[in-house]
């Protein structure tokens, strides 16, 4: 039987922590529940989930709908588009059956690549290989989630680029319903023969917009800050996420606009965080003067999640006194810092 391979390539970088990742997790379950009611999709569609951050990993290999279970979406550091495409090409080579003189292979794979950020690696060489050997064999739809996704980069991968204007819970539901309808539409179209192009469902203009030109793809830089920390007790990682807020500072003598970042939340990560993270050190820093808000540790409940060691590691403490840095294992005597200091930002 000829299959319709469907790959969900999902950005699980630090910027996705919080509502975006939770909505995607719930969205996958909604997607499967909907597709299982469609006899055409049940007969032809096979699904795979690939997660990418600084590295890429297959969470669910290509499997028929009835046997598919939604995987837990992890977190990682970085947004390596090149690594995501490289991994996708490997999965296509290994798992998509090509036609031979004796029999027809699978239908063109349908790929949904979802990201809310900008690439942290250089995908130039991978893009060349993609365009030369894979672009014509795959129907790829790229979706930029929220206002900060680099649509210009996505448009170099595929002409099918969409943007979800906002990332509300209701918009995510409509977005997932659109993916479900598109898989169903493609499943129906192959019932009458090999479709000439990807068959997508009509999308809601209030939720998604198609990017027609590079001019529409301008991305906003410096939109958020993510700081990586590690629990002193459990040694597990966590993410402090701050969102840009432009605030005017004024005195009697002058006024200026200063960029500050308000705390969105602190999010616990698991041991597989390092597996999906870009191992290269980040040279980007930011002054704590620009960061507003310091929560407790999401793992052990320590009161302060923003203690700093001279090695650069951010970690949690209960307060002043003795502590052990979970990064370099140095014994420290912690006290409240006077003034501001620079901390390393994540790769995004």
* Domain CATH code at residue 153: 3.40.50.410
Number of domains in the chain: 2
- 150 and 11 within one domain: yes
**Among 217, 247, 280, residue at a domain's last position:** 217
- 276 and 212 within one domain: no
- 326 and 232 within one domain: yes
- 63 and 29 within one domain: yes
Least confident of 51-65, 76-90, 105-119, 187-201: 187-201
- 170 and 23 within one domain: yes
**pTM of the predicted model as reported, rounded to 2 decimal places:** 0.85
- 177 and 321 within one domain: no
Ranges of beta strands (E only) in the chain are: 4-11, 45-52, 56-64, 110-115, 139-145, 161-164, 208-210, 224-230, 237-250, 255-268, 285-287, 291-292, 304-308, 314-317, 321-324, 331-334, 342-344
- Buried b / exposed e over 115-131, threshold 16 CB at 10 Å, is bbbbbbbebeebbeebe
Check residue 132 and give its pLDDT: 96
- 234 and 147 within one domain: no
- 251 and 163 within one domain: no
Residues 6 or more apart whose Cβ sits within 8 Å of residue 78: 13, 53, 54, 55, 120, 121, 277, 278, 346, 347, 348
Res. 59: pLDDT tops 60: yes
The average pLDDT across 276-285 equals 78
**Among 217, 237, 255, residue at a domain's last position:** 217
Q: Which domain holds residue 286?
A: 224-344
- 235 and 334 within one domain: yes
Q: Are strands 56-64 and 45-52 parallel, antiparallel or unpaired?
A: antiparallel
**Among 177, 195, 217, residue at a domain's last position:** 217
The average pLDDT across 61-88 equals 93
- 250 and 103 within one domain: no
**For the segment 200-229, what is each residue's pLDDT rounded down to a tens digit?**
666 666 556 665 544 444 444 467 889 999
- 157 and 60 within one domain: yes
């Amino acid at each position: 039987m000829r299959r319709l391979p469907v790959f969900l390539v999902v950005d699980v970088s630090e910027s996705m922590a919080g509502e975006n990742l939770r909505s995607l997790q719930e969205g996958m379950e909604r997607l499967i529940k909907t597709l299982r009611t469609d006899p055409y999709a049940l007969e032809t569609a096979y699904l795979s989930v690939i997660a990418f951050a600084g590295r890429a990993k297959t969470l669910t290999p290509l499997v028929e709908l009835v046997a598919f279970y939604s995987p837990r979406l992890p977190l990682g550091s970085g947004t390596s588009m090149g690594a995501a495409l490289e991994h996708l090409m490997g999965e296509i080579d290994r798992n998509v059956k090509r036609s031979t003189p004796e029999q027809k292979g699978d239908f063109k794979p349908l790929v949904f690549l979802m990201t809310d950020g900008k690439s942290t690696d250089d995908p130039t060489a991978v893009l060349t290989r993609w365009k030369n050997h894979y672009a014509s064999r795959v129907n790829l739809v790229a979706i930029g989630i929220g206002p900060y996704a680099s649509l210009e980069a996505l448009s170099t991968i595929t002409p099918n680029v969409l943007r979800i204007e906002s990332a509300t819970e209701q918009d995510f539901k409509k977005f997932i319903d659109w993916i479900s309808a598109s898989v169903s539409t493609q499943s129906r179209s192959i019932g009458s023969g090999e479709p000439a192009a990807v068959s997508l469902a009509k999308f809601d203009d209030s939720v998604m917009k198609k990017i027609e030109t590079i001019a529409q793809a301008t991305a906003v830089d410096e939109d958020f800050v993510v700081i990586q920390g590690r629990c002193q007790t459990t040694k597990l990682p966590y993410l402090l996420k701050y969102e840009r807020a432009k605030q005017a500072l004024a005195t009697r003598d002058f006024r200026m606009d200063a960029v500050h970042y308000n705390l969105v939340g602190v999010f616990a990560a698991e041991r597989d965080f390092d597996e999906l993270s870009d191992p290269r050190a980040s040279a980007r820093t930011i002054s704590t003067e620009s960061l507003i808000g310091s929560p407790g540790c999401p793992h052990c409940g320590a009161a302060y999640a923003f203690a700093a060691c001279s090695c650069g590691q951010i970690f949690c403490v209960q307060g002043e006194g003795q502590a052990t840095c979970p990064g370099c294992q140095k014994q420290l005597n912690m006290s409240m810092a006077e003034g501001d200091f620079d901390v390393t930002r994540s790769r995004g």
